[in-house]
């Protein structure tokens, strides 16, 4: 019934592994919070579970250990065991990649080609608006001409009401009912 006493070197190794695990957790949380300040060795190690276990970074208090030892230590120390550490590892990679993407995008935003593309895009929008304005002005002129002809026919007493409704319906089918959007965008070719 007497349980054998754990050797002193075993206890020290377990404590060392626990401290190393807590250092990993702390470093990963720091990487997630501040991906710009991340340790490059740690980022590389996050690519695989075995690399994260085998890495040694003295500055951070991380000692190398086998993956099995890391898993056993996690299961003993962390609330959700190794899954918790693995989740932190994956989140670290995601945060760092998002940081790099944002950094790359910001650098591209400050480039001459980025602003040239923006200028070209705005020039296309401007041309579309001009084309739409011209289109609407032409259609308004056509409507005024229809109305002028109608008034001339009324004045001359030569009006065919069915023909007038037909012309109005034809115009409305082509250019929209009253209350429709006032501006029609003309697609550029």
Answer yes or no: do 87 and 119 share one domain: no
In a domain, 166, yes or no: yes
Helix and strand numbers, DSSP H then E, in the chain: 7, 0
Answer yes or no: do 48 and 31 share one domain: yes
- Please report, for residues 166, 167, 174, the alpha-carbon distance to residue 163 in angstroms, rounded to integers and kept in the order given: 5, 6, 17
Q: What is the mean pLDDT of the chain?
A: 85
Q: Is 21 exposed, middle or buried (0-12, 13-18, 19+ CB in 10 A)?
A: buried
Of all residues in the chain, the percent with pLDDT exceeding 70 is 88
- The answer to whether the CB of 31 falls within 8 A of the CB of 92 is yes
Which of these ranges, 15-24, 56-65, 123-132, 167-176, has the smallest mean pLDDT? Answer: 167-176
Answer yes or no: do 99 and 118 share one domain: no
DSSP 3-state of 159: coil
Answer yes or no: do 12 and 97 share one domain: yes
- What pLDDT was estimated at residue 183? 47
Answer yes or no: do 12 and 105 share one domain: yes
- Predicted TM-score (pTM) of the model is 0.55
Q: Which domain holds residue 91?
A: 8-109
Cα dihedral angle (84, 38, 40, 19), rounded to 10 degrees?
A: -50
Given 79, 109, 139, the domain boundary residue is 109
Which of these ranges, 56-65, 80-89, 147-156, 179-188, has the smallest mean pLDDT? Answer: 179-188
- The answer to whether the CB of 47 falls within 8 A of the CB of 93 is yes
The string of pLDDT tens digits covering residues 6-40 is 788 888 989 999 999 999 999 999 999 999 888 99
4/2 Cα distance (integer angstroms): 6
Given 109, 143, 167, the domain boundary residue is 109
Stretch (H or E) spanning 7 = none
Q: Provide the token pair at 86.
A: 């693995």
23/21 Cα distance (integer angstroms): 5
Structural domains in the chain (count): 2
Q: Which residues pair with 62 in a beta bridge?
A: 57
Confidence of residue 85 (pLDDT cuts 50, 70, 90): very high
165/133 Cα distance (integer angstroms): 27
Answer yes or no: do 20 and 104 share one domain: yes
Q: Tokens 């890391």 label which residue?
A: 70
Answer yes or no: do 40 and 76 share one domain: yes
Answer yes or no: do 90 and 32 share one domain: yes
In a domain, 182, yes or no: no
């Amino acid at each position: 019934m007497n349980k054998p006493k754990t050797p002193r070197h075993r206890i020290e190794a377990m404590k060392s592994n626990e401290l190393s695990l807590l250092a990993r957790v702390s470093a990963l949380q720091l990487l997630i919070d501040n991906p710009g300040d991340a340790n490059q060795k740690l980022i590389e190690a996050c690519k695989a579970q075995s690399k994260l276990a085998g890495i040694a970074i003295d500055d951070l208090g991380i000692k190398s250990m086998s993956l099995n030892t890391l898993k056993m230590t996690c299961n003993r120390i962390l609330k959700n065991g190794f899954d918790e550490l693995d989740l932190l590892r994956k989140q670290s990679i995601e945060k760092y990649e998002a940081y790099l993407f944002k950094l790359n995008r910001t650098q591209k935003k400050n480039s001459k080609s980025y602003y040239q593309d923006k200028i070209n895009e705005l020039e296309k929008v401007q041309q579309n608006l001009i084309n739409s304005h011209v289109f609407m002005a032409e259609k308004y002129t056509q409507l005024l001409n229809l109305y002028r002809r109608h008034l001339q026919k009324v004045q001359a007493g030569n009006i065919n009401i069915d023909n007038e409704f037909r012309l109005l319906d034809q115009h409305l089918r082509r250019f929209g009912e009253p209350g429709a959007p006032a501006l029609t965008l003309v697609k550029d070719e």
